[in-house]
Structure 1
Amino acid sequence: NGFGRIGRQLTRLLTQFPAENVKLAAVNTLETTATAAHLLKYDSCQGIFPAEISSHNDILQVDHHKISFFHEPDPVLLPWQAENIDLIIECSGHFTDAERAAAHLAAGARRVLITAAASNVDAIICLGVNENSYRPEEHKIISSSSCTTNCIAPALNAINRLWGVEQALATFIHSSTSAQHLLDHFDPDPRRARAAGLNLIPCPTSASHQIPAVIPTLHGRFDALAIRVPTPHIHLADLTICLRHTPDRADFTAALAEEAANTLQGIMRISNEPLVSIDLKGSKHSCVIDAEHIHFQDNMVKLLIWHANEFAYCCRIKDIIELIAQQQY
């Protein structure tokens, strides 16, 4: 449900790299199917999608994949029961509370995955942190948390397990989003009312409460803020941690590299290259730690962590979809 930045990128992944027992059957969006087809094909951030795309009579065809399109603003009226839909990916950004997302269940879907920080859900799943906590018999409305949470949670969880975290603070250098304004415009938040392309804009971030939700031992020990910057995608997290036990820099880096090669393979990566943000375009890893910028001061460590907030985040959503599909309903 929803065919914006996340919905379209996820459609690219699900059709280009299909998974066993997973079929993208339908999309609900208020835009026309023809417009959806054009925006799926041509993307200013991710580039041209190398697939044959056509639309006719509310059927979108991507190579050999045929996807039904609906245009219903009220999810409870959608034909999910008739379409035999197992899982709704709720990526409209408008149904981020379990009570509202439950409209999809009332319409006949069996489960809902909200691709954002969400309230009152049955479970918050963050790959590389707590995916083993998923219980299909109990969890009907699930959140994949936010992209910023996915950016730092795997590294922070590993560091907490290996050395203990006394306190941690994060600042996210966060790309602009479509919810911001091209020019100054009324907004309940006076900072977010300002032109996105002309300003650095301090903002709250859902990671401040989502990190303790997925790593409960960090309740009362973590906080965060974001600074919205005039770039279209790729985030950088500045993470500062007070450790209980202090390794030397070489051992710290080696231990994180070991985690990245084993338990966090495909989720975390250590980079020894002098990267800038555009180099992370197409990165599938939730967190890419810049090895050059691991700084120690007594028991404090500072890390810079890159994250492709559209592509890598959608890779994790796809992983959660596959996790759900693999387990018995």
Structure 2
Amino acid sequence: MTVNDDSFTNWKNREEIAESMIPIIGKLHRERDVTVLLHSRSLVNKSVVSILKTHRFARQIAGEELSVTETLPFLKALTELDLGPSQIDIGMLAATYKADDRGLTVEAFTAEAVAGATGANKIERGEGRDVVLYGFGRIGRLVARLLIEKSGSGTGLRLRAIVVRGGGDQDIVKRASLLRRDSIHGQFQGTITVDEANSTINANGNAIKVIYANDPSEVDYTAYGIKNAILIDNTGKWRDREGLSGHLRPGIDKVVLTAPGKGDVPNIVHGVNHDTLKPDERILSCASCTTNAIVPPLKAMDDEFGVERGHVETVHSFTNDQNLLDNYHKSERRGRSAPLNMVITETGAASAVAKALPDLKARITGSSIRVPVPDVSIAILNLQLKRDTNREEVLDYLRDVSLTSPLRRQIDFITAPDAVSSDFIGSRHASIVDAGALKVEGDNAILYLWYDNEFGYSCQVIRVVQHVSGVEYPTYPAPAV
């Protein structure tokens, strides 16, 4: 047998193993609300090839490819446990088991590592929490996709309605079409049908009522059977407490803004300050996509090296706020053609750092340039540290943060020397450290942080909503503190 034959046979064997994992992962998700992860990447609803690629990605973090032959025993061990709702990272199980020298069986080690999600310790599944989307633009539709994807057994978050202004004939058909197909993020994973008579979009079994209103005061959500719901405002029209309070109508319990909040509205970056939210807080913001991209790595760097001061320059994809061709705009430069120009503009991300990281005393400044790409941006974070370091130390530290720390869902890490912006479309992390671009000299470090300003940010929004709704399930093995 030739080397090529050996390689092909090995690939087919791994395909067969990955294929056997799919029904196990699906059953755990549907019946027990267990999300199986691999180094913080969900394996739910993934194809055979996608599962194999996710295993291969581990080499960029841990230095070597992770084989499905290593993770399958842990996945099988999970099926024998009395698991409650949780997120279980079989990549971390395999890595920690390899480092454990007690001689435990895979079954015993797994039972110990996920003990907080089993038996008397497990979370009991509730009835779920209603969610309403106010606005159905770029972020609104991606948040809708994520809510539908995560509906699981139906006992978590339930997208019940979207609120939009009427748009004329076949409005609901056109909105369903925009949910079904996206020029950047591709096809919706599932089926979508429209019931025009009842003003309903049915997506993967989720009946979503389309409510037409020009103002929050026009809607009584209880008339649609919606109760105790979390409303996600994707319009950005109201950003202070007074304006957002207009959403607190019958049937709505909390309001989450997908834009930077003003005044005393808490700006929350999941993974950094979400645990500071008071249970009785009814209005909050998820800050901006750029704030979510820079705050987690900024916190990580401050924790380890200390930060004296910093500057962030964002090279940001253009957005719907800009004009396709030169035309009137209330902002001087944003009126110029977005697909034809680099456009200098302002960013509030630097000033928003203080809200998310009040203990950070360093002064952070920022500026932004919009460039002719439709999605994925990069933040260049230039930091003066409180101590000297070197490139190897910073790389090792950030790699470890992305793998084992509480920020592992926010910070990703890539070593690919040829990575470009389109490679990060669909990333679920708030930011991705580009190892090859990192520069360190003495007490100065310059981090290059990619981020999908649409999808990665939408994932952060969902994490905040899960937290405030009480369906943010714990992750096992627990990350290092």
Scaled to the shorter chain, the TM-score interval is over 0.9
Aligned to 2:157: 22
Q: Which runs of 5+ in 2 are unaligned?
A: 1-133, 473-481
2:239 partner SS: coil
Structure 2 Cα separation of the partners of residues 51 and 285 of structure 1? 23
Match for 2:146: what amino acid?
L
Matched, 1:41 2:180: yes
- Aligned equivalent of 1:155, options 297, 300, 323: 297
Tell me how far 1:110 sits from its aligned partner: 1.0
Match of 2:330 among 165, 188, 193: 188
**Does residue 54 of structure 1 match 2:208?**
no
Rounded Cα–Cα distance in structure 1 between residues aligned with 2:465 and 2:150: 13
CA distance in 1, matches of 2:238, 2:264: 11
Partner of 2:458: 314
- Higher alpha-carbon deviation: 171-180 or 207-216: 207-216
Counterpart residue number, 2:445: 301
TM-score, length-scaled by structure 1: 0.95
Q: Which residue of 2 aligns with 1:277?
A: 421
Matched, 1:124 2:267: yes
Amino acid at match of 1:36: R
Moved more, 66-75 or 82-91: 82-91
- 2:236 counterpart of 1:93: yes
**Cα distance change on mapping 1:42 and 1:306 into 2, 3 Å:** same
2:202 paired with 1:69: no
Runs of 5+ unmatched residues, structure 1? none
> SS where residue 352 of structure 2 aligns?
helix
Q: Find the residue that maps to 1:132 and give its secondary structure.
A: helix
Query: What whole-Å deviation, never above 9, does each CA across 1:269-307 have from its counterpart, x for those lacking one?
Result: 111112100100111111100001111233111111000
Cα contact 1:270–1:291 (8 A) shared by 2:
yes
Supply the distance in 2 between the matched residues of 1:51 and 1:95 (Cα, whole angstroms).
33
Residues in 1 aligned to 2:151 and 2:370: alpha-carbon distance in whole angstroms: 34
| 2:215 counterpart letter in structure 1 | D
State the distance in 1 between where 2:252 and 2:189 align. Answer: 31
Distance 1:212 1:40 in 2: 35
- Number of the residue aligned with 1:246: 388
> Which of the residues 430, 443, 446 maps onto 1:286?
430
Summarize the alignment of residues 218-257 of structure 1 with structure 2, pairs less than 5 Å apart.
218=360, 221-257=363-399
Residue of 176, 197, 209 corresponding to 2:351: 209
Report the identity percentage.
Answer: 30
Q: 1:228 to 1:93 in 2, by over 3 A?
A: same
- The reply to whether residue 133 of structure 1 matches residue 272 of structure 2 is no
CA RMSD of aligned residues (A): 1.6
Shift of 1:220: 6.1
Say which one has the larger Rg. 2
Give the structure with the higher percent helix.
Answer: 2
2:159–2:208 CA contact under 8 A, matched in 1: yes
In 1, Cα distance between the equivalents of 2:458 and 2:190? 18
* Residue aligning to 2:144: 11
Moved over 3 A (4+): 217-220
How many aligned residue pairs are there?
327
Does the CA contact (< 8 Å) of 2:230 and 2:256 recur in 1? Answer: yes
For each residue in 1:93-136, what CA deviation from the matched residue of structure 2 results, as whole angstroms up to 9, or x when unmatched?
21222211111114541110001111134422101211111111
Report the TM-score when normalising by structure 2. Answer: 0.66
Contact 1:80 1:104 in 2 (8 A): no
**Paired residues of 2:256 and 2:285 also in contact (CA < 8 A):** yes
* Aligned-pair CA distance for 1:85: 4.3
